[in-house]
Amino acid sequence: MAEVTNALPVGELVGNNYEILGIAGAGGMGVVYRAWDAKLERTVALKFLPTLLNADVREREYFVLEARMASSLDHPNIGVIHGIEETADGRAFIVMGFYDGLSLAQRIAKAPLSTVEAVDVAIQIALGLCEAHAHQIVHRDIKPSNVMLTNSGSVKIVDFGLARLISAETATASGIVGSIKYVSPEQALGHRTDQRTDIWSLGVVLAEMLTGRNPFERGAIPAILVAILNEPPQSLDGLPIALQGIIYRALSKDAEKRYQHCSEMLADLQAARTELSNDSTNRKEATGRKTTHRSNDIRKYVEQASISTWSRAQKPRNRWLPLGLGLCGFVLLACLFLFPRVREQLFGSRIRVGEEHIAVLPFTNIGNNPENEALSEGLVDTLSGRLSNLDVGNKALWVIPASEIRRLKVMDPAAALKTLGANLVISGSIRRDGAAINLNLNLINTENLRLIGSVDVVDQAGDLAALQDEAVSRLAHLMDLPVSAEMLHNTGGSVVPAAYENYLTALGYMQRYDKAGNLDRAINLLGESIKTDPKFALGYGQLGEAYRIKYQLDKNQHWLDEAQGNLERAIQLDGSLPAAYVTLGRIHDVSGKRELALQEFQHALTLDPRNALAVRGLARAYERAGRVADAEAAYQKAVALKPDDWESYNLIGHFYDRQGRYPEAIKALQRALEMTPDNAEVYLNLGATYIDSADAKALPAAEQALKRSIELEPSYPAYANLASLYLSQRRYKESAEVNEKALQLNEHDYMVWNNLLIDYERIGDSSKAEAVRRRIVPLLEQNIQLKPQDALAQSLLGLMLVEDGAREKALEHVQTALALAPDDPDILANVSIAYELCGDRKQAVKYLETAIRKGYSLDKLRDEPKLQGLISEPTLRSGKPSP
């Protein structure tokens, strides 16, 4: 324990009710006392800031703000914060839970922990960090002294919210060397930090628990910083392979190559714990037996943990590491003169030495058979995916997505270098001669346009799966990349050549499912695929996704049933297909089964942590659960994972629209249009966003976007949104005409029928209005049976039943709607109308007042005939609530 000067004496009363029992600890961030809380009769810990920081008003404000945020955390692995108080002379202190036991630092000082014990502790730390990160709270100072091992066996993370107070002054005056040994490279460089800095620190702590030493231990602060920024961690040889992989991945010096979320590291820790529980597995790993796959992973993670960060260094933003960064600058200058590779990385070509940036260009369809065009497109995509999934050991292999190449219309090697920065391209042609398929591929160096080599593969039986395996294997050989049979096998069980060909062709059509007829073509081909090969798991999975998209387009429940049946069959055949779980999650999500959806998306991510589709699904599930910050982070991660995919921007644009962040939504959707300027779906969403913005000046742009969408691809959503726009502009006749066109394409959406009902009521055509109302009631009942939590459907059904005279049943649905969405102004307005139609004016006024208070617009109020009788009510005119 550090020496403490001016310590509070035992027995002194602090803050009126805390009696000092003794000093529990001391360090760079202040002194911790054990105290008795006389008011609540419990032992607590009191943490006082150093005098230096207490004197700094700005730092005190940050301290109070962050401690307040941290106090909101409630988790078994996070030390509880009871409150923030001050002494009579103005010294701030935190009242925390007191835990009998040892700090992890004290435990490590005795002896390294056993493998199982260390992993158990790491799992509990990760659980606590997952909870904190879910609330957008980053600890920033994870180290053994901030982890308590209680006598009851639980692990508690303490000192949340204090790490940002570390400065150059406290580092020198208070001996904060312990913290510096655990800082991430981005912290050391003064860059912005996020949850990944805690992941780095947990990796350091796990290594220290297992080996008894810090992997960056050096004799002085500058040497520690040099090691963190530039040197590999000390060897982990002798540890189980699974744990080596976890630690090295957590210690990647580039945060982008690290675990991106603590939940990913937690999943790996839990898997390692399961393996270690088997003594024989533990012994095999400890003696170094490993599979090729794991060996390649380890090499990749070791490389990322060893690469210097100096080439990415930027000007530091904080003041606490001037000495270390000064030394870094000196060594960097030396590197520039002594090591040409460093100089080349910083100032030379944008392609780094040792990295292969590959673009697979569109194939030439020899013979110009239009039936082979979609097949060629699907083949380019799967070939790019196969190359992307290769584990290439120490080499860096970047395969530019095929969708980005199509978007930018890159057709030749020179354009690939100029536009995409690719130093290698694969160009080729596909030719069919009866059943035989010939695939000719050329590997070209774009900087000198030299042909590195050619691959010419033929399969007389037309077996495209085997053809691709051979092509990838030979291309990898040309690039000196290791491949294995396991890397090449990804067709999901057995596959008949004709089935795989249909599957590839369907993929080509589904790339642009927004084009007329493409989705139905894909469904037909996938149906033929699984008919040809009933054990083709990928075919069933992709067919399930095609049906899900079909439901997305016309909201017919039948397509969801078809999708689910095909997905269940896919999983029966091969339970390791992430895409199948993603689609199942999406189906559960639209069906209102939120927990099931989350489970499916999370399972998909355990199979493939970088699956952008799973991240998108998780984002939507978070949003529906009210976890808006988590949702936004997931949507942004999906964009980062697939920045070349128009749908990534389309979905985050949707999200911003739903959150009322219209400028951000419009910007994202415009980015999607830049990628696919002929995309009817994005024009549709852009028009809907302009409408939602409630900006009268944006309505002409909304109408233009929706008409452009219809021009490109007439669809019921585009017609429905255009009709809604006309309805808002009181263009009732035009609205009715467009709604009728929407219903010709899809008669299953109750909202379109409801808008048509409003049109006819406003036009004064009572006979048509009554006919529409009779169509709406069974649709609403069917929808509620499938999704009972649909508050809008519940409220509309209540209105319809009131008009049918079923008052008691109507009010049941109205009250259900209120329980589901008590703050939705449109729901409240519907409830008001229902009570008005029931003759209960008092309740009608009450709910209309609430609707207006929650944002129901006066324009809507003036346009709704059934509310006109309430406008004259004195409380509504005066603005005072009714009693």
The more confidently predicted of residues 573 and 51 is 573
Query: Hey, how many other C-beta atoms are within 10 angstroms of the C-beta on 595?
Result: 10
The more confidently predicted of residues 100 and 57 is 100
**pLDDT value of position 676:** 80
The more confidently predicted of residues 304 and 342 is 304
What is the spatial distance between Cα 80 and Cα 422, in angstroms, rounded to a whole number?
A: 52
Q: Does residue 801 contact residue 828 with C-beta atoms inside 8 Å?
A: no
- Residue 349 domain-assigned (yes or no): no
Q: Does residue 316 contact residue 229 with C-beta atoms inside 8 Å?
A: no
Question: In the sheet where 147-150 sits, what is the strand order?
Answer: 101-103, 147-150, 155-157
Query: Hey, how many other C-beta atoms are within 10 angstroms of the C-beta on 827?
Result: 24
Read off the pLDDT of each residue in 364-378 and give the average, rounded to a whole number: 71
- pLDDT of 712 > 60? The answer is yes
**pLDDT value of position 266:** 92
What is the spatial distance between Cα 215 and Cα 119, in angstroms, rounded to a whole number?
A: 17
Query: Hey, how many other C-beta atoms are within 10 angstroms of the C-beta on 162?
Result: 24
What is the spatial distance between Cα 79 and Cα 663, in angstroms, rounded to a whole number?
A: 40
Q: Does residue 436 contact residue 372 with C-beta atoms inside 8 Å?
A: no
- Residue 723 domain-assigned (yes or no): no
Lowest-confidence pick of 440-449, 561-570, 704-713: 440-449
- Of all residues in the chain, the percent with pLDDT exceeding 90 is 18
The residue out of 490, 522, 552 marking a domain boundary is 490
Q: Looking at the structure, do residues 117 and 218 belong to the same domain, yes or no?
A: yes
List pLDDT tens digits, range 532-577: 888 888 889 999 999 999 998 877 888 988 998 999 888 888 888 8
The structure tokens listed for 290 are 């490993």
- pLDDT of 393 > 70? The answer is no
What is the spatial distance between Cα 651 and Cα 646, in angstroms, rounded to a whole number?
A: 9
Q: Looking at the structure, do residues 146 and 275 belong to the same domain, yes or no?
A: yes
Q: How confident is the model at residue 317 (pLDDT cuts 50, 70, 90)?
A: very low
The residue out of 97, 119, 140 marking a domain boundary is 97
Q: Does residue 317 contact residue 191 with C-beta atoms inside 8 Å?
A: yes
What is the spatial distance between Cα 72 and Cα 52, in angstroms, rounded to a whole number?
A: 27
Which structural domain, as residue segments, surrounds residue 530?
492-574
Q: Looking at the structure, do residues 168 and 112 belong to the same domain, yes or no?
A: yes
Q: Looking at the structure, do residues 64 and 134 belong to the same domain, yes or no?
A: no
Question: What are the distances in angstroms from CA 755 to CA 82, 555, 720, 722, 759?
Answer: 53, 17, 9, 11, 6
Q: How confident is the model at residue 652 (pLDDT cuts 50, 70, 90)?
A: very high
Instruction: Calculate the CA 512 to chain-centre distance.
Output: 24
**pLDDT value of position 299:** 57
Q: How confident is the model at residue 433 (pLDDT cuts 50, 70, 90)?
A: confident
**pLDDT value of position 354:** 43
- Residue 581 domain-assigned (yes or no): yes
Lowest-confidence pick of 53-62, 194-203, 349-358, 546-555: 349-358
Q: How confident is the model at residue 371 (pLDDT cuts 50, 70, 90)?
A: low
DSSP 352: P
Q: Does residue 866 contact residue 850 with C-beta atoms inside 8 Å?
A: no
What is the spatial distance between Cα 568 and Cα 565, in angstroms, rounded to a whole number?
A: 5
- CATH number of the structural domain spanning residue 156: 1.10.510.10
The structure tokens listed for 259 are 């675990």
**pLDDT value of position 344:** 34
What is the spatial distance between Cα 252 and Cα 304, in angstroms, rounded to a whole number?
A: 5
- Residue 340 domain-assigned (yes or no): no
What is the spatial distance between Cα 708 and Cα 721, in angstroms, rounded to a whole number?
A: 13
| pTM as predicted | 0.46
- Residue 319 domain-assigned (yes or no): no
**pLDDT value of position 169:** 37
List pLDDT tens digits, range 215-258: 888 766 666 877 788 777 887 877 888 898 899 999 998 888 89
Read off the pLDDT of each residue in 461-473 and give the average, rounded to a whole number: 73
- Residue 784 domain-assigned (yes or no): no
The structure tokens listed for 502 are 């249909």
Q: Does residue 753 contact residue 743 with C-beta atoms inside 8 Å?
A: yes
| Amino acid letter for position 196 | R
For all residues of the chain together, what is the average pLDDT?
A: 78
Q: How confident is the model at residue 62 (pLDDT cuts 50, 70, 90)?
A: low
The more confidently predicted of residues 839 and 478 is 839
**pLDDT value of position 217:** 84
- Residue 180 domain-assigned (yes or no): yes
**pLDDT value of position 853:** 87
The half-sphere exposure of 780 on its side-chain side, counting CA atoms within 13 A, is 24
- Which of 381-385, 398-402, 663-667 is most confident? 663-667
The more confidently predicted of residues 512 and 242 is 242
Closest to 438 measured CA to CA, from 413, 455, 452: 455
**pLDDT value of position 734:** 95
Beta bridge partners, 455, equal 441
For 119-136, give one letter per residue: b (16+ CB within 10 A) or e: bbbbbbbbbbbbbbbbee
The residue out of 515, 549, 574 marking a domain boundary is 574
- Which of 36-50, 238-252, 288-302, 465-479 is most confident? 238-252
The more confidently predicted of residues 727 and 480 is 727
Q: How confident is the model at residue 171 (pLDDT cuts 50, 70, 90)?
A: very low
Q: How confident is the model at residue 759 (pLDDT cuts 50, 70, 90)?
A: very high
Q: Looking at the structure, do residues 568 and 581 belong to the same domain, yes or no?
A: no
The more confidently predicted of residues 27 and 335 is 27
Q: Looking at the structure, do residues 392 and 473 belong to the same domain, yes or no?
A: yes
Q: How confident is the model at residue 312 (pLDDT cuts 50, 70, 90)?
A: very low
The structure tokens listed for 94 are 């935190």
Read off the pLDDT of each residue in 704-717 and give the average, rounded to a whole number: 91
**pLDDT value of position 452:** 84
3-state class of 471 per DSSP? helix
- CATH number of the structural domain spanning residue 842: 1.25.40.10
Tokens 């308590």 sit on residue: 148
How many helices (H) does the chain have, and how many strands (E)?
A: 43, 15
Q: Looking at the structure, do residues 361 and 445 belong to the same domain, yes or no?
A: yes
The structure tokens listed for 819 are 């329980």
DSSP 791: H
- Annotate 828-841 with DSSP letters as a single string: HHHHHHHHHHTT-H
**pLDDT value of position 397:** 59
Q: Does residue 182 contact residue 199 with C-beta atoms inside 8 Å?
A: no
For 613-623, give one letter per residue: b (16+ CB within 10 A) or e: bbbbbbbbbbb
The more confidently predicted of residues 368 and 452 is 452
The structure tokens listed for 315 are 């000007």
Beta bridge partners, 365, equal 430
3-state class of 390 per DSSP? coil
Q: Looking at the structure, do residues 555 and 602 belong to the same domain, yes or no?
A: no
The three-state (H, E, C) secondary structure of 232-285, written as one string: CCCCCCCCCHHHHHHHHHHCCCCHHHCCCCHHHHHHHHHHHHHHHCCHHHHHHH
The structure tokens listed for 47 are 């943490």
Q: How confident is the model at residue 2 (pLDDT cuts 50, 70, 90)?
A: very low
Please give the torsion angle defined by the CA atoms of residues 201, 203, 204 and 206, in that order, rounded to the nearest 10 degrees.
120
- Which of 135-149, 478-492, 691-705, 869-883 is most confident? 691-705
**pLDDT value of position 349:** 32
Q: Looking at the structure, do residues 231 and 129 belong to the same domain, yes or no?
A: yes
**pLDDT value of position 725:** 92
- pLDDT of 595 > 80? The answer is no
- pLDDT of 737 > 90? The answer is yes
The structure tokens listed for 220 are 């002085």
Tokens 């559960």 sit on residue: 588
**pLDDT value of position 388:** 60
Tokens 């911003």 sit on residue: 656
- pLDDT of 262 > 90? The answer is yes
3-state class of 849 per DSSP? helix
Pairing of strands 424-433, 355-360: parallel
Lowest-confidence pick of 210-219, 226-235, 391-400, 652-661: 391-400
- Which of 90-99, 165-174, 286-295, 832-841 is most confident? 832-841
Q: Is 463 a catalytic residue?
A: no
Q: Does residue 62 contact residue 92 with C-beta atoms inside 8 Å?
A: no
What is the spatial distance between Cα 824 and Cα 390, in angstroms, rounded to a whole number?
A: 50
Q: Looking at the structure, do residues 243 and 180 belong to the same domain, yes or no?
A: yes
Query: Hey, how many other C-beta atoms are within 10 angstroms of the C-beta on 480?
Result: 9
**pLDDT value of position 261:** 92
Lowest-confidence pick of 13-22, 46-55, 117-126, 271-280: 46-55
- pLDDT of 604 > 70? The answer is yes
Beta bridge partners, 148, equal 103, 156
Read off the pLDDT of each residue in 341-356 and give the average, rounded to a whole number: 38
**pLDDT value of position 326:** 41
What is the spatial distance between Cα 282 and Cα 293, in angstroms, rounded to a whole number?
A: 18
- Annotate 675-739 with DSSP letters as a single string: H-TT-HHHHHHHHHHHHHTT-GGGHHHHHHHHHHHHHHS--HHHHHHHHHHHHHTT-HHHHHHHH
Rg (CA), the chain: 32
Beta bridge partners, 429, equal 364, 440
Please, which residues have CB within 8 angstroms of residue 249's CB and are 6 or more apart in sequence? 203, 257, 258, 259, 265, 268, 301, 304, 305
Lowest-confidence pick of 432-441, 792-801, 850-859: 432-441
The more confidently predicted of residues 465 and 96 is 96
Beta bridge partners, 23, equal 33
Catalytic residue among 56, 141, 159, 759: 141
- Which of 359-373, 404-418, 568-582 is most confident? 568-582
- Residue 8 domain-assigned (yes or no): no
| Amino acid letter for position 420 | L
- Of all residues in the chain, the percent with pLDDT exceeding 70 is 78
**pLDDT value of position 876:** 64
Q: Looking at the structure, do residues 360 and 421 belong to the same domain, yes or no?
A: yes
Lowest-confidence pick of 25-34, 174-183, 636-645: 174-183
The more confidently predicted of residues 803 and 305 is 803
**pLDDT value of position 711:** 92
What is the spatial distance between Cα 306 and Cα 227, in angstroms, rounded to a whole number?
A: 10
Question: What are the distances in angstroms from CA 459 to CA 385, 433, 795?
Answer: 21, 10, 61
Pairing of strands 436-445, 424-433: antiparallel
Please give the torsion angle defined by the CA atoms of residues 106, 111, 117 and 119, in that order, rounded to the nearest 10 degrees.
80
Please, which residues have CB within 8 angstroms of residue 42's CB and are 6 or more apart in sequence? 36
Query: Hey, how many other C-beta atoms are within 10 angstroms of the C-beta on 695?
Result: 12
Q: Looking at the structure, do residues 480 and 497 belong to the same domain, yes or no?
A: no
List pLDDT tens digits, range 294-311: 344 665 777 677 776 544
DSSP 401: P
Q: Does residue 532 contact residue 496 with C-beta atoms inside 8 Å?
A: yes
Number of structural domains the chain divides into: 6
Q: How confident is the model at residue 313 (pLDDT cuts 50, 70, 90)?
A: very low
- pLDDT of 463 > 80? The answer is no
